[in-house]
Homo-oligomer: A and B are copies of this chain.
Amino acid sequence: METFFNPKSVAIVGATEKPGSLSGIILKNLLDIGFNGKMYPVNPKHKHVFGLNCFPSLIDIPDEIALTVIAIPAPFVLDVLKQQALKKIQYSIIISAGFREMGAEGIEMEEKIKQVAIENNIKILGPNCLGVLDNYTNFTTSFLPWERVSKPPKGSLSILSQSGAFAIALLDLAAQEGLGIAKMVNYGNRIDVGESALLPFLMDDVHTKVIAIYMESIDYGRRFIEVAKACSKKKPIVALKVGKGAAGIAAAKSHTGAIAGKYEIYKAAFLKSGIIEANGLEEFIDGVKALTMQNPPKRNRVLIVTNGGGFGVIVADYCSENGLEVTPPSPQLKEKLRNKFSRFYVVNNPVDLTGSASDEDYYIALNTCMIESDEYDAAIIIPLMAPMGMTEKVVDLITDTMKLSGKPAVICTVGGAFTMKIKQLFEDRKFPVYPSPERSARAMSMLLRRDLLQRGHAYTPV
């Protein structure tokens, strides 16, 4: 499997310098991000492409080739694959679209390719895909120019995605959010390598800490559950299952030819294999962000601290809806807080520091409730930055206290430019920030679900 992510030598079939040529952009992207392996453009029309020697066919390459990248029109793919068999190249990423997703004729072409691959023991990623991005080996088969799609920083999240557009959008969002990526794999029609082969690989990948899967369908039901079960014991897996209702299932079929199947079966499979299911794109990204940055709480007792009472109320509502308990502080703890705070402050759960809050008040609340007391397992902290008492210092006060407590926290803050700056500071310190109360509560519940699933419990929101 390593070859797909770090090939010693790669042939890019169809590469030209012509603007808009997919193969050309792939080669250019590889050169741009500084891939270290050997690259061989293949195209009978050229002698040189981007300064590299170009070969008329795979057969003509004098060296050994580990991997081919094929991004030519679908009807020509079969011939290339036959040549590849002759040259005994064992791995191929087929970017080209125009197969199963196009109906009968496409299915036939796809089946022929499958046959050749099986007969010659060629491992295939695709077709109808974007292939891979490895942020540590600098290998990618993305055909999207970097000025359109930002490259995210190195990090610990790996993405498996049946949808190319989705994978791309996720990379772009990750770059925007400063969320670090290890590997991205998009396998489109998935005639060979899919989730069941990739999960065990990611399970042992040193750079991957959290795995995110976008799926319309899965490749092999039983096998998938088995490998996911093993993998999720080591690393959290978050899945976004799409194609749930009739309209979505029909859309998925048109999209990657996927038979999306009954949603209930997927739900049961996720539970069995310890996969955390996300509801929608935002919960998917939010949960993944929380899981890469914070640890699961030990239990579900959440403290809410805010200087915006209304936000505290909304977070409390969504905590209840998402299996998190907003338990009131004990009389002793209340008394302790009461003695430390202005009488205007509401010493309850949420702790409401009101519009008069200062940075220091957040420290006092968290130190008292999360370190000196054992009544809470996690905190949702909502520092609104509009009041004058709030400054940048609140970031270190909150993050240092929470780190000392050893308990997880997520941050919710809402606002304009100044708030965005504060968000960045929090996330630099690995505390995930969400722009709405409901998203912060759901992200915390994703952390809780990780803990529940690890201990073999189902997640049952109230």
Q: A103-121, CB under 8 A of B: which get 1 and which 0?
A: 0000000000000000000
Measured CB to CB, the closest approach of chain B to A356, in angstroms, equals: 8
- Inter-chain CA distance A440–B350, complex, in Å, is 31
The reply to whether B163 and A97 contact each other, CB–CB distance below 8 Å, is: no
The reply to whether B419 and A313 contact each other, CB–CB distance below 8 Å, is: no
The reply to whether B97 and A317 contact each other, CB–CB distance below 8 Å, is: no
- Other-chain contact of A318, B280, B344, B349 (Cβ < 8 Å): B280
Interface centre among A169, A173, A318, A348 (most CB of B within 10 A): A169
Question: Which residues does chain B contribute within 8 Å of A147, judged by CB atoms?
Answer: 418
The reply to whether B169 and A414 contact each other, CB–CB distance below 8 Å, is: yes
Question: Which residues does chain B contribute within 8 Å of A415, judged by CB atoms?
Answer: 149, 169, 172-173, 176
Q: Taking CB as reference atom, which chain B residue is nearest A415?
A: B172
The reply to whether A256 and B419 contact each other, CB–CB distance below 8 Å, is: no
The reply to whether A326 and B150 contact each other, CB–CB distance below 8 Å, is: no
**Which one, A26-34, A48-56, A226-234, A385-393, is touching chain B?**
A385-393
Question: Which residues does chain B contribute within 8 Å of A439, judged by CB atoms?
Answer: 282
- Other-chain contact of A248, B175, B320, B436 (Cβ < 8 Å): B320
- Other-chain contact of A344, B102, B247, B319, B321 (Cβ < 8 Å): B102
- Other-chain contact of A164, B166, B346, B350, B355 (Cβ < 8 Å): B355
Q: How many copies does the complex hold?
A: 2
Question: Which residues does chain B contribute within 8 Å of A366, judged by CB atoms?
Answer: none
Known A307-B165, A309-B255; judge A250-B416 contact (CB<8 A).
Answer: no
Q: Does A144 contact B (CB under 8 A)?
A: yes
- Inter-chain CA distance A211–B246, complex, in Å, is 35
Question: Which residues does chain B contribute within 8 Å of A246, judged by CB atoms?
Answer: 320
Question: Which residues does chain B contribute within 8 Å of A320, judged by CB atoms?
Answer: 244-248
- Residues of chain A from 410 to 429 with CB closer than 8 A to chain B in the complex: 414-419
Q: Does A216 contact B (CB under 8 A)?
A: yes
Measured CB to CB, the closest approach of chain B to A253, in angstroms, equals: 9
- Other-chain contact of A352, B162, B254, B282 (Cβ < 8 Å): B254
Question: Which residues does chain B contribute within 8 Å of A145, judged by CB atoms?
Answer: 388
The reply to whether A326 and B251 contact each other, CB–CB distance below 8 Å, is: yes
Q: Does A363 contact B (CB under 8 A)?
A: no
Q: Does A308 contact B (CB under 8 A)?
A: yes
Known A416-B176, A436-B280; judge A165-B251 contact (CB<8 A).
Answer: no
Q: Does A458 contact B (CB under 8 A)?
A: no
Q: A3-37, CB under 8 A of B: which get 1 and which 0?
A: 00000000000000000100000000000000000
Considering only CB atoms and an 8 Å cut-off, how many residues of chain A contact the other chain? Answer: 88
The reply to whether A418 and B148 contact each other, CB–CB distance below 8 Å, is: yes
- Inter-chain CA distance A311–B280, complex, in Å, is 11
Measured CB to CB, the closest approach of chain B to A246, in angstroms, equals: 7
The reply to whether A354 and B97 contact each other, CB–CB distance below 8 Å, is: yes
Question: Which residues does chain B contribute within 8 Å of A417, judged by CB atoms?
Answer: 150
The reply to whether A416 and B214 contact each other, CB–CB distance below 8 Å, is: no
Measured CB to CB, the closest approach of chain B to A389, in angstroms, equals: 8
Known A145-B388, A169-B415, A439-B282; judge A242-B313 contact (CB<8 A).
Answer: yes
The reply to whether B165 and A309 contact each other, CB–CB distance below 8 Å, is: yes
Q: Does A200 contact B (CB under 8 A)?
A: no
Known A386-B149, A387-B144; judge A282-B438 contact (CB<8 A).
Answer: yes
Question: Which residues does chain B contribute within 8 Å of A251, judged by CB atoms?
Answer: 304, 309, 312-313, 316, 326, 348-350
Q: Does A281 contact B (CB under 8 A)?
A: yes
Q: Taking CB as reference atom, which chain B residue is nearest A343?
A: B102
* Closest A-B pairs by Cβ, 9 of them: A163-B310, A165-B308, A248-B317, A245-B320, A255-B309, A247-B326, A280-B438, A166-B310, A247-B316
